[in-house]
Amino acid sequence: MTEFYVKKGQGATFSKTVSESDVYLFAGITGDFSPNHVNKAYMEKSSYGRLMAHGALLVGFMSTVSTMAIAHTRDAEETPVSVGYDKVRFLEPVFPWRSRDPPNPHQKN
């Protein structure tokens, strides 16, 4: 069985204020020019009322956190890579310029 570097309950935190520029640049890199992400006038008329970040951009932040979680445990002989993410769900949109702390999985609601 493969040994994983991250143990149950271990974590890392990362905070980022997503700017409109981040969203537009990500659209340019990926080619995802859905109006949800780049058309202000369209989104102002929607139930969301404003642009939202790409889900794939948020998954990129997951990669950042997983790298941070294993950074101090790396064996010099190995190169850690992601083996994937299971059951990823976006519970609400992320809007540009809306800062928020990442969820704490150990906090009881």
Render pLDDT for 12-47 as a digit per residue (tens, 0 to 9). 888 888 999 999 999 999 999 999 999 999 999 999
- Render pLDDT for 65-90 as a digit per residue (tens, 0 to 9): 888 877 766 665 667 677 778 888 88
State the pLDDT confidence band at 5, using cuts at 50, 70 and 90.
low
Counting other chains too, the contacts that 1-10 makes at CB distance below 8 Å and 24 or more residues apart are 5/69, 5/70, 5/73, 5/74, 5/80, 6/66, 6/69, 6/70, 6/73, 9/106, 10/69
**18-91: what fold?**
Thiol Ester Dehydrase; Chain A (3.10.129)
- Quote the pLDDT of residue 20: 92
Q: Using only C-alpha atoms, what is the Rg of the chain?
A: 17
Query: Full-prediction pTM beyond 0.85?
Result: no
